[in-house]
Structure 1
Amino acid sequence: MDQDEKWQIISAQRRVVADLLAGLTEPEWETPSLCRDWRVRDVAAHLALTPRSPSVSRILVAGVRARGDFDAVNRDLAVAHADRPGADLADELRRDAESRSKPAITTLDNLVMDTLVHIQDIAVPLGRAVPMPPDGARAALDRVWAMGWPFWVRRRFRATRLVATDIDWSVDTGAADSEIRGPADALLLLLTGRTAAAAGRLSGTGTATPRPGP
């Protein structure tokens, strides 16, 4: 995919999640998401905040205050932005759907992966099905396999062949002694540490192997 196609996927997915959020009840906004210690409201705020991310200097200052824990920085920014009516978050996502602004400390490939995963973080615990666009899912899987921190996928799955059953995607390190098969969205959840949410949709000998968390 070229850059325009990646941005088109992000824009379309922002509209999809905005529509989902617009129909939530207040208790649903407070539902724990798949992202540990984040509510649905917090994940929605993170997605809404992305096109208007703080400056690099502000993020670095926050990182120093958090003693280098940038996960904590991300969560604190999201929680602060979540302190507003849910309808406002849905409106922000819809209004900024076409924005091509992104945090200076990330890449477009990371943003595709981040957007697709966080939408599932919201949808899965709410029992809503949000299909993942095939090209986006492939790009996200490629990205998470290639990156190191924070998921360390190649280390955690170094002896496992991974095969998507609904798109043309697989990886094999050449030393695989087990296999995990399943839909691309379930594989993406597995690789990004959402193991329990993915487990029931995966099959193969590798599913019985405990994996250290990212």
Structure 2
Amino acid sequence: MARYAQSERQLLADLLIAVGPDAPTLCEGWTARDLAAHLVMRERRPDAAAGILIGPLRRHSERVRTSLATRPYPELVDMVRAAPWWSLVSNPLADAAANTMEFFIHHEDVRRGRPGWRPRELPREQQEALWRRAKGVARLALRRVRAAVRVQAPGYGETTAGSGGAQVRLVGAPGELAIFLSGRQRAARVQVDGTPEMAAFLRSAKLGV
């Protein structure tokens, strides 16, 4: 649902202002300022945003993000809060598909980057929207894992991923699974059932798409 992409965007912008530019996040080495610059680049600099996924463009992407991070922090947050209508990833047609999970995860990056956080109680409809996206992410994030991984969201459904072999289960709420599968395992409330070796591997592996 597009409204969850929009509501998480506003909650994230509010939190970025509340914690300040130097607050830690779950993104290794990034402060709140760095995360805001990343989001601005992703929406407003498609030439640089391609480097998020394409290795040879990564250096250009990092230069642009670093340059954006030098802007006044309130200005950066305002740019996060109000996406340009022409953005490839945030225009009205693309917003729900591209941003429902993106802004939820980055909101949690800031929330869970500090001690004392607790999981939020999300509306069922939002959990359903996250689950629809997490299923696709699971197949990508776990595609090279040498195990048959059952990803279960009780009350929402399950999917299978991995390349086959040992049986492993990941069990959690859709939002927690989304956080786990995006490579933030240490901050996700997800149960991992399997051999001790495989469970340890999944909790430390470099996941994400």
TM over 0.5: yes
Task: Give the counterpart letter for 1:17 in structure 2.
Answer: L
Question: Which one of the candidate residues 29, 32, 43 is aligned to 1:37?
Answer: 29
- Aligned-residue Cα RMSD (Å) equals 3.3
Partner of 1:141: 134
Change (3 A) 1:154 1:50: same
Unpaired runs of 5+ residues, structure 2, are none
Structure 2 residue 94 is the aligned partner of structure 1 residue 102: no
Q: Distance in 2 between matches of 1:47 and 1:207?
A: 38
Change (3 A) 1:170 1:67: closer
Task: Give the counterpart letter for 2:12 in structure 1.
Answer: V
**Corresponding residue SS for 2:138:** helix
Deviation at 1:15, TM superposition (A): 1.0
Q: Distance in 2 between matches of 1:75 and 1:207?
A: 39
8 Å CA contact 1:178–1:206 kept in 2: the answer is yes
Question: Which one of the candidate residues 82, 85, 102 is aligned to 2:69?
Answer: 82
Q: Distance in 2 between matches of 1:67 and 1:179?
A: 31
Q: Distance in 1 between matches of 2:150 and 2:15?
A: 34
Point out the more displaced range, 132-141 or 167-176.
167-176
Structure 2 residue 183 is the aligned partner of structure 1 residue 202: no
Question: Which one of the candidate residues 174, 179, 189 is aligned to 2:169?
Answer: 179
Q: Distance in 1 between matches of 2:118 and 2:86?
A: 26
Question: Which one of the candidate residues 77, 86, 91 is aligned to 2:78?
Answer: 91
Change (3 A) 1:142 1:169: same
Unpaired runs of 5+ residues, structure 1, are none
Point out the more displaced range, 173-182 or 42-51.
173-182
Give a deviation string over 1:48-78, Cα, whole Å, max 9, x none. Answer: 3333224x4x667x79xx97153x5444332
Give a deviation string over 1:26-60, Cα, whole Å, max 9, x none. Answer: xxx22332122322211122223333224x4x667
Question: TM-score normalised to the size of structure 1?
Answer: 0.70
Q: Distance in 2 between matches of 1:159 and 1:10?
A: 31
Task: Give the counterpart letter for 1:140 in structure 2.
Answer: R
Structure 2 residue 186 is the aligned partner of structure 1 residue 193: no
Q: Distance in 2 between matches of 1:193 and 1:67?
A: 18
Partner of 2:149: 160
Deviation at 1:176, TM superposition (A): 6.4
Task: Give the counterpart letter for 1:95 in structure 2.
Answer: A
More strand by share: 2
Q: Distance in 2 between matches of 1:14 and 1:103?
A: 13
Q: Distance in 1 between matches of 2:129 and 2:86?
A: 16
Deviation at 1:196, TM superposition (A): 1.4
Task: Give the counterpart letter for 2:74 in structure 1.
Answer: A
Partner of 1:15: 10
Q: Distance in 2 between matches of 1:39 and 1:59?
A: 19
Identity of aligned residues (%): 24
Give a deviation string over 1:112-135, Cα, whole Å, max 9, x none. Answer: 333322222222113555746323
